[in-house]
A and B are shown apart, each in its own frame.
Chain A
Amino acid sequence: DAGVIQSPRHEVTEMGQEVTLRCKPISGHDYLFWYRQTMMRGLELLIYFNNNVPIDDSGMPEDRFSAKMPNASFSTLKIQPSEPRDSAVYFCASTSDRILSGANVLTFGAGSRLTVL
């Protein structure tokens, strides 16, 4: 299995530009999570999907952020317009197990490192 695949791995953009991050979860995984990691705040959950449906987006910082999952094998996280404070590593993760089972393993992608100048 190729694991969770994220693109781009690195993106440098200027303030005000639109940024689109992409994620392909592991086949058969029906939960998909988007996290953001910074030195100051650590890993923060932005949004998660179950069977392509957004379940909880309370972590999305503001309206500039949006996420979609049009099918079971693809999700996007969009920032428009981007700001310097959005600079972070954005991770996508997937799992097939309910976390409540206690046996859950979240598999993370390699991350997308975003720098907004």
Chain B
Amino acid sequence: RKEVEQDPGPFNVPEGATVAFNCTYSNSASQSFFWYRQDCRKEPKLLMSVYSSGNEDGRFTAQLNRASQYISLLIRDSKLSDSATYLCVVNNFGNEKLTFGTGTRLTIIP
């Protein structure tokens, strides 16, 4: 089983819609969680960290469920510029390694 699993998509969503991605992780010792965004042929960039209580940044909401070992990302009122691949990232306690999921590809349709 992969350490971090994501639905690869693609998700094709009309502009203005709400879209949600889930990500599961296998190591219950995982301590830190992030969502990174990667545009086509570009490098990954941090979108947001994921905190235990859930957190929001504008149209983006991240949630963590430790009991079920999954992380979610919700995008409201989607924009064309949200089209990208979204990478779920976890870190395990005791080391500096970040493990990336293979990403979920999102395309916002005008």
Interface residue ranges, A against B (CB under 8 Å): 31, 33, 35, 41-43, 45, 48, 50, 55-56, 91, 98-100, 102-106, 108-111
Contacts and interface: CB of A to CB of B under 8 A. Distances in A.
A98 to B, nearest CB: 7
Contacts of A109: 43
Given A48-B96, A100-B93, A42 B101 contact: yes
Contacts of B87: 42-43
B49 interface: yes
A56 B42 contact: no
A105 B91 CA distance: 12
Interface centre among B43, B99, B100 (most CB of A within 10 A): B43
B96 A50 contact: yes
Nearest to A43: B100
5 contacts: A45-B97, A50-B96, A56-B95, A56-B96, A102-B31
Given A56-B96, A102-B49, 11 more contacts: A42-B100, A45-B99, A50-B96, A55-B96, A99-B32, A99-B98, A100-B32, A102-B51, A104-B98, A105-B46, A108-B44
Contacts of A91: 43-44
Interface string B5-37: 000000000000000000000000001100000
Contacts of B72: none
Interface of B: 31-32, 42-46, 49, 51, 87, 91, 93, 95-103
Nearest to B97: A45
Contacts of B49: 102-103
B93 to A, nearest CB: 7
B41 to A, nearest CB: 8
Contacts of A55: 96
Contact of A110 (B31, B43, B99, B101): B43
Contacts of B46: 105-106
Q: Which 9 A-B pairs have the closest CB atoms?
A: A42-B102, A108-B43, A43-B100, A102-B32, A99-B96, A105-B46, A99-B91, A108-B44, A110-B43
A97 to B, nearest CB: 10
